[in-house]
Amino acid sequence: MNQPCPQHAHPRRLVQQPLSDLTARLRAQSRKITGPRQAILDVLRSHAIPLTNRQIHHALGKSDCDLATIYRTMHTLLEMGLVRRCDFGDGTARFELSDADDPRHHHHLVCRVCNIVVEIDACLPPQLEADLALRHGFSQIAHHLQFFGVCPRCKEHPDAADPAGLPGRPGPRREP
Amino acid sequence: MNQPCPQHAHPRRLVQQPLSDLTARLRAQSRKITGPRQAILDVLRSHAIPLTNRQIHHALGKSDCDLATIYRTMHTLLEMGLVRRCDFGDGTARFELSDADDPRHHHHLVCRVCNIVVEIDACLPPQLEADLALRHGFSQIAHHLQFFGVCPRCKEHPDAADPAGLPGRPGPRREP
DNA sequence: GATGGATTTGCAAATGGATTGCATCTTCGG
DNA sequence: CCGAAGATGCAATCCATTTGCAAATCCATC
């Protein structure tokens, strides 16, 4: 860790997680493979950035399932470790796939103006959490880290709106 | 930065910010020095950890001012740079003093079980954000970083409840 | 295949943080 | 001391998220 992103634009990740894996995991907890759950996972698979529940709901379109179902499903998937939760500080949870085969730890760089999201792998020095554990007596230490800035495009055109085209977040945020 | 906390228990910081400073800043923006604002700042001064608006409201007790006023005041203080906003991932904003004389950048280590908060100064390697800016073309990069773990006390007594004694957050959170 | 029971879903209502409109009250420069 | 700008209280509202409950769906088993 600690070295910055190897490429300017990090390649989008379109995970093809084998259904069998999901099936096995669900079975193991006497949970069921339902239409909504598969549809939701499909949506997550086809997007490379974290989505809000509302965005997922919107993306589902016709095969519409209830928002409450999406909320419940995300809880389930979180518990099962199939998704990861991201917090961009705007009061709305976002979720991205955390495929079991490649549970790659990473963070995000979010444009304060247009909300575009770039996935990065820069991270904390690995020994830092161990030091914290030692000094404060805490165990099971994990961290949340996100970066905010102004993307090159918004630096150029300070009036452009959400090019990410993702619903669910109106204007710029109020983060420092 | 990057070196961990110099002490096991970071000394609580009870800032005595000169009122004159506040006065000057408020005047400079044609804002007024009101009872509620002073009371809110007093509450923040007497607490060493970030507080939710509800906690502030509760702490105000008799000199009760409306919750809405607290929300508005925090916006104002944020804009003025007198407070800093913290996000512990539970959907509630927290605020701590960011005294102008010592706008020390720091982060928090939060116990997942009892919510106790420890202030730490471990941080990212300084060049990391510069690298990000360079590689992704972003400018004005800042970061949000928080640590979660299980405090020594909760490791011992897995049933203890909120020893911090702070209202506003019921049980443990659902963070990874 | 058909079936029963546990799990899920849809719907609607409720919860909780945060924001806002508006009339009234305060603060503070003059 | 006065008046206007700015603040506050109150109530209504917004939005993300959660929850109760009856109906629908899965799936292990027959």
Contact by Cβ (8 Å): A109, B138 = yes
B147 shares contact with chain A (CB less than 8 Å): yes
Report residues 80-139 of A contacting strand D, contact meaning Cβ closer than 7 Å. Answer: 91-93
Q: Which of A31-40, A45-54, A55-64 shows the lowest mean pLDDT across its residues?
A: A55-64
CATH number at residue B35: 1.10.10.10
**Per-residue pLDDT at A169:** 40
Q: Of A147, A132, A126, which is closest to residue B139 (Cα–Cα)?
A: A147
Establish, for the pair of chains A and B, how many residue pairs have beta carbons separated by less than 8 Å. 153
Best probe of the A interface among B3, B128, B153, by most A CBs < 10 A, is B128
For residue B169, tell me if it sits in a domain.
no
Contact by Cβ (8 Å): A32, A26 = yes
Report residues 3-62 of B contacting strand D, contact meaning Cβ closer than 7 Å. Answer: 26, 30-32, 34-37
Band of the pLDDT at A167, cuts 50, 70, 90? very low
- Report the domain count for chain B: 1
Q: Which of A29-38, A141-150, B17-26, B150-159 shows the lowest mean pLDDT across its residues?
A: B17-26
Amino acid in the structure at residue B106: H
Residue A14 neighbours by CB distance under 10 Å: 10
Q: What is the largest CA-CA distance in chain A?
A: 53
**Per-residue pLDDT at B40:** 96
d(CA B51, CA B56): 6
Percentage of chain A with pLDDT > 90? Answer: 60
Smallest Cα–C1' distance to nucleotide D5: which residue has it? B30
Q: Which of B22-26, B32-36, B53-57, B84-88 shows the lowest mean pLDDT across its residues?
A: B22-26
ipTM of predicted assembly, 2 dp: 0.82
Contact by Cβ (8 Å): B86, B53 = no
**Per-residue pLDDT at B15:** 46
Mean pLDDT of A25-48: 89
**Per-residue pLDDT at B117:** 95
Mean pLDDT of B17-24: 62
Strands A139-150 and A83-87, by their bridges, are: unpaired
Q: Which of A1-15, B20-34, B111-125 shows the lowest mean pLDDT across its residues?
A: A1-15
For residue B10, tell me if it sits in a domain.
no
Beta bridge partners of B117: B110
For residue B77, tell me if it sits in a domain.
yes
For residue A135, tell me if it sits in a domain.
yes
For residue A173, tell me if it sits in a domain.
no
Exposure class string for B54-88: b at 16+ Cβ within 10 A, else e = ebbbebbeeeebeeebbeebbebbbebebbbbbbb
Mean pLDDT of B144-151: 96
Percentage of chain A with pLDDT > 70? Answer: 74
Q: Would you say residue A164 has pLDDT above 50?
A: no
Band of the pLDDT at B21, cuts 50, 70, 90? low
A144 to chain B: which residues are within 8 Å by CB?
89, 144-148, 175
**Per-residue pLDDT at B167:** 38
CA of A88 to C1' of D14 (A): 20
**Per-residue pLDDT at B145:** 96
Q: Would you say residue A21 has pLDDT above 80?
A: no
**Per-residue pLDDT at A26:** 75
Whether A19 CB is under 7 Å from strand D: no
Q: Of B94, B87, B105, which is closest to residue B146 (Cα–Cα)?
A: B87
B76 to chain A: which residues are within 8 Å by CB?
none
Residue A68 neighbours by CB distance under 10 Å: 10
Q: In Å, how far is B62's CA from the nearest CA of chain A?
A: 30
Exposure class string for B3-24: b at 16+ Cβ within 10 A, else e = ebbeeeebeebeeebeeeebee
CB A5 to CB B136 under 8 A? yes
d(CA B11, CA B118): 9
Q: Which of A97-101, B7-11, B68-72 shows the lowest mean pLDDT across its residues?
A: B7-11
Burial (Cβ within 10 Å: 0-12, 13-18, ≥19) of residue A12: exposed
For residue B48, tell me if it sits in a domain.
yes
B150 to chain A: which residues are within 8 Å by CB?
138-140
Q: Would you say residue B5 has pLDDT above 90?
A: no
**Per-residue pLDDT at A19:** 54
Residue in A131, A133, A143 nearest the CB of B146: A143
Structure tokens at A75: 């809880």
CB A120 to CB B136 under 8 A? yes
d(CA A123, CA B53): 31
Structure tokens at B109: 């280590």
Protein CB footprint (7 Å) on chain D nucleotides = 5-12, 15-20, 25-28
Report CA Rg, chain B: 18
Residue B88 gets the label, from left (phi > 0), alpha (psi -120 to 50) or beta, of alpha
Structure tokens at B157: 């007594």
For residue B78, tell me if it sits in a domain.
yes
Q: Who has greater pLDDT, B163 or B139?
A: B139
Mean pLDDT of B127-147: 95
For residue B166, tell me if it sits in a domain.
no
Mean pLDDT of A136-152: 96
Whether A54 CB is under 7 Å from strand D: yes
On average, the pLDDT of chain B sits at: 80
Q: Which secondary structure element, helix H or strand E, spans residue B75, and what is its range?
A: helix B67-80
Whether B19 CB is under 7 Å from strand C: no
d(CA A161, CA A114): 6
Mean pLDDT of A106-113: 95
Structure tokens at A155: 């630096």
Contact by Cβ (8 Å): A99, A136 = no
Mean pLDDT of A60-83: 92
Band of the pLDDT at B98, cuts 50, 70, 90? confident
Range of the domain at A43: 19-156
